[in-house]
Structure 1
Amino acid sequence: MPAATACPITLTASDRHHLKKAAYGHKTEHQARIRAQIVLHAARGRSNARIAAEIRLHVDTVRTWRGRFAHGGLPALADRKRSGRPARFTPVQVAETKALACQLPAEAGVPLSRWSCPELAAELTARGIADSISASTVRRWLREDALKPWQYRSWIFITDPDFRAKAQRVLGLYARTWQGKPLGADEYVISADEKTSVQARCRCHPTLPPGRARAMRVNHTYGRGGALAYLAAYDVHAAQVSGRCEKTTGIEPFMNLVTQVMSQEPYASAKRVFWVVDNGSSHRGKRAADRLSAAFPNAVLVHTPVHASWLNQVEIFFSAVQRKVVSPNAFTDLTQVGDRLRAFEDRYNATAQPFQWRFTTSDLDDLLARLSRHTSAGRQEESSVALAA
């Protein structure tokens, strides 16, 4: 008998976004992560047997979840409902709870800036929506509906008119391409930036190491020993860092970092070295690009879009420095800070691997499409308000 053909999988931009978030999210449950990875592999046209070998699953498991997604989409990846205890609350009560959570407390006459689950539970009881309800029940409802009224996020509209073009250039360099052509073996990509105000805080009492049933204890009071700026240049594909400490940031300290990197091999004799930087004052605009190319003809300055420092991979390294070197901050003076940073560079370079950068141009297009929809909806709402006024 002929072998059964695997179900073809085609993803929309929204499906791909949710699946990648589930497949690589740190807080995703293991089962949800595996199912998302199966679908993503299937969307690339891979066979069930190959997917099973790569993820180390039985081929029947791969076939099951591939088929469920093909016939039911994202909702089909969830566990099917099972019978249980009869519901204590009606769907109307659940809907009224979520509607209240969507309102600002000030609109309900409550002197709060944000709702918490205990406060929502008390408000539901006060309004007679429920005779009694626990905060954990409210929390479960909102978690299932992705509403967390006790949290908030700040955000900003894209203001750079060339956002896509600039972001695409940076993403292309991470994929070892420039202007549609692959980079040569003698071309390198450097991600550089400054970490400002790394302080030396001398604790008034020594830090106590972890003990039996006790976490490490860091004394709250400290004396200030000054601050320095840490400048780093990260080779994106070799995962090597060159850094230096300066008294402050600025054009001269940044050019000192460039000179330190470009005067050593393999960058000194490279055909081109691309420097990916943000729009900080030390390396902003065409003047900075001209200054860099005048000092080093084989250096090319590439700016990220405005308000898009998250596209700069050196920021990931700086987050590791903050977690592993700076916090908790307990240094006697700035010399100790500099020595610790240099020692960490040597330790990092000995074992580091390139970052697994997963944000591609397809993800960029999906992001811009979502932002465009939000912008259009906001403008329509403003127009409606203006007409009503």
Structure 2
Amino acid sequence: MELTQEQTAELRAVINSRDVSGAVATRARIVLWMAEGRRRKDVAALAGVSLPTVDRWVGRYEAEGLAGLEEQKRGGPRQQVPARVRARILALSRTSPPAETGLSHWSSRQMAGYIRRTEGVPVSWHYVARLWREHDLKPHLQGTFKLSKDPRFAEKVADVVGLYLDPPAGAVVLSIDEKTQVQALDRTQPMLPIDFGLTEKRTHDYVRHGTTNLFAALDVGTGQVTAGCYPRRTGEAFLAFLRKAVKPHAGKQIHVVLDNLSTHTTPEVKAWLERNPNVTLHFTPVGSSWINQIETWFGLITRQAIRRGTFTSVNALIARIRAYVEHWNTDAKPFVWTATAGQILAKVRWTETNVKQLVADNSK
């Protein structure tokens, strides 16, 4: 199993919290140990539990996040939270966090803290986790549907999805984006516990050797990927990669799907586009990276080659990325896009309607 840095930090916070029971802390340790690549039997021995118990808590965490590590109690008194606050939590859980929070998605702890600050009502993260479980909400999972505030959302969705489902005859559609600050981490071997407790002592989890910025272009029609690593994420670096990505398709009409970053619209880029009228840029809606197909490929290379890799230098990291791309292209297959623009817009309208209704109920 693999964890994001945020998930790892959240689990460590649970382990170190005085407000969490020893049982829940042990379950968090089990998940962390398994994510480190330890054998099931070793984790079971360290935690003092059976192998099925290890599988149970890892499975619960993968399905429900931190909420899954709680004991599901039957009956008993419920935490007394006002109905308006309960409705407020449910409404917020179905939307992206407000921009001022700086969050990409909600965790139960972040939600509890936000409610305390904005509503003045003390709510525990246990209550939030239980509420999510009762309503089958999983905002902690990455990839949660996000409402965009782009005023041209519908127009951009129709444009991009149209390229996926019905590309112009003979044209090439490229999905381009950058994965920034990819770290070259040289991971050290964790030390074994030195006592019979569950507190680990280790020297260092990893040593950083620097970062690189990974640019990648997915040929939507064939699944082939072109990639390049650059020391900085700049307009100059983007233009250099754009030239590299379109070069194999010289003489064809090329449509490029990407997000509207400032580095994608510099004067140099605009001047290059004027000299190359066969290349057209199509921008995804603000806050809607999920519509860019290269994001799916970024998820694959992160899970399969980068996240748990050991790299003694940035050059070693770049070599791994190049090897992965070469291997991918030996048997590349395109991702199948099935959702129409109409279906996406209908989902957005349905979501907005339900959120507005929850907010209205909350204000009564």
What TM-score, normalized to structure 1?
0.55
Write the deviation string for residues 340-374 of structure 1: whole angstroms up to 9, x where unpaired: 11111110011121112122123212223213414
1:358-369 to 2 correspondences below 5 Å:
358-369=338-349
- Residue 146 of structure 1 aligns with which residue? 135
Say whether the 8 Å CA contact 2:235–2:269 is kept in structure 1: no
- Residue 113 of structure 1 aligns with which residue? 125
Q: Is 1:321 aligned with 2:301?
A: yes
Q: Secondary structure at the match of 1:307?
A: coil
Q: Is 1:280 aligned with 2:280?
A: no
What TM-score, normalized to structure 2?
0.58
Shift of the alpha carbon at 1:156?
5.8
Shift of the alpha carbon at 1:206?
9.6
- Residue 269 of structure 1 aligns with which residue? 251
2:155 to 161, 165, 179: 165
Shift of the alpha carbon at 1:314?
0.4
Say whether the 8 Å CA contact 2:148–2:288 is kept in structure 1: no
Q: Size of the alignment, in residue pairs?
A: 250
- Residue 311 of structure 1 aligns with which residue? 291
- Residue 52 of structure 1 aligns with which residue? none
Aligned-partner Cα distance in 1 for 2:84–2:140? 15
Write the deviation string for residues 267-296 of structure 1: whole angstroms up to 9, x where unpaired: 1111x10010012222148x5773442242
Uncovered stretches (5+) of structure 2, i.e. residues with no partner: 1-73, 90-111, 192-201
Task: Tell me: higher relative CO, structure 1 or 2? Use CA pairs within 8 A at least 6 residues apart.
Answer: 2
1:77-226 to 2 correspondences below 5 Å:
102=86, 112-115=124-127, 146-147=135-136, 157-177=147-167, 183-185=168-170, 187-205=171-189, 221-226=205-210
Say whether the 8 Å CA contact 1:274–1:299 is kept in structure 2: yes
Shift of the alpha carbon at 1:202?
1.6
Say whether the 8 Å CA contact 1:195–1:230 is kept in structure 2: yes
Percentage of matched positions with identical amino acids: 27
Q: Secondary structure at the match of 1:300?
A: strand
Aligned-partner Cα distance in 1 for 2:139–2:325? 39
Report the residue type matching 1:184 in the other structure.
A
Aligned-partner Cα distance in 2 for 1:159–1:319? 25
Aligned-partner Cα distance in 2 for 1:112–1:380? 24
Aligned-partner Cα distance in 1 for 2:334–2:139? 37
Residue range with higher mean Cα deviation, 273-282 or 358-367: 358-367
Aligned-partner Cα distance in 2 for 1:263–1:366? 38
Report the residue type matching 1:368 in the other structure.
V
1:17-32 to 2 correspondences below 5 Å:
none
- Residue 290 of structure 1 aligns with which residue? 270
Report the residue type matching 2:257 in the other structure.
V
Shift of the alpha carbon at 1:259?
1.1
Larger Rg: 1
Write the deviation string for residues 35-71 of structure 1: whole angstroms up to 9, x where unpaired: xxxxxxxxxxxxxxxxxxxxxxxxxxxxxxxxxxxxx
Uncovered stretches (5+) of structure 1, i.e. residues with no partner: 1-88, 121-138, 178-182, 208-217
1:43-58 to 2 correspondences below 5 Å:
none
Report the residue type matching 1:197 in the other structure.
Q
* 1:373/1:318 CA distance change after superposition, 3 Å: same
